Amino acid sequence: MTTTLKPILFLDVDGVLNAFAPVRPHVKRQAGGRKVKGKFVPFNLHFDNEVADMVLALSEHFEIVWATMWNHAANAEIAPLLGLHEFPVMVCNHNVGWDMAVAEGTDTFDIHRLWYAKTPLIPTYAAGRPFAWLDDDHSSYDQRWLAEHGVEQPFLLVRTDADYGVQWDDVDALITWARNLAAGELTSPNGYQGFKAVVPVHDPEPVLWFEEDETPIDWESEEVQGFLAALEDDSK
């Protein structure tokens, strides 16, 4: 039996699209932020130069849904920076997720093992549709919880390394899964793929790294020289 309906891809931002310690060519942007001691401090975001292409490749096989603590700000702040159109949003909320997990009979200890701002909300949003979930914070426990709490449709969880974000290997794994789903050739009803080690590689011209106004950073500055030195240390 085959299906033509695209599965859902629940897509995180921080640690997935926004890499915390990128080593590949990337751009630096600022978005959102918070008040610290009364002063507004913007978030620094680091996007791999190919991350938008990765999302577009995934969108050919999935209906993409934001599943991020950015919530609707993902469309307002993140999508424009990457040249992406808006995606639907699954609103993530710690309190709602906690209450839903409690309602499912999950005890307090096990709730803390869940990514409970998201995991308990996914079955309701998916509503029986197959789905994949790309995140840096879920684990095989989230996979088991979903399977044990009424999720009977096929699903796949893929975890990224938060430092490096999504990689093409992750994209390939998701697309392969979607193709197998469409062909009725899945070998298991659900799965979990932990992140693979990313070996930092120092490129002689490694960083297309811009400030918000897209002016190249001074390559001789202490900031950039320190960044490059850290890259070399990581690659040894």
Q: Mean pLDDT for each 10-residue chunk of the chain (236 residues)?
A: 78 93 69 58 78 97 96 92 95 93 89 90 96 96 93 96 92 96 92 74 40 47 60 46
- Name the pairing type of β-strands 190-193 and 63-66: unpaired
Phi, psi of 220 (to 5 degrees): -90, 0
Q: Which amino acid belongs to residue 146?
A: L
Residues carrying CATH 3.40.50, the chain: 8-198
CATH topology of domain 8-198: Rossmann fold (3.40.50)
| pLDDT for position 171 | 97
Cα 205 to Cα 107: distance, rounded to the nearest angstrom = 51
User: How many other CB atoms sit within 10 Å of the CB of residue 191?
Assistant: 17
Cα 103 to Cα 78: distance, rounded to the nearest angstrom = 33
| pLDDT for position 46 | 84
Q: 146 with 125: CB under 8 angstroms?
A: no
Cα 129 to Cα 116: distance, rounded to the nearest angstrom = 20
Residue 116: name the closest of 144, 96, 88 by CA. Answer: 96
User: How many other CB atoms sit within 10 Å of the CB of residue 190?
Assistant: 18
Q: Residue 195 has which token pair?
A: 């992140």
| pLDDT for position 49 | 87
Q: 64 with 11: CB under 8 angstroms?
A: yes
Residue 131: name the closest of 147, 155, 160, 158 by CA. Answer: 155
| pLDDT for position 208 | 37
| pLDDT for position 111 | 86
| pLDDT for position 168 | 93
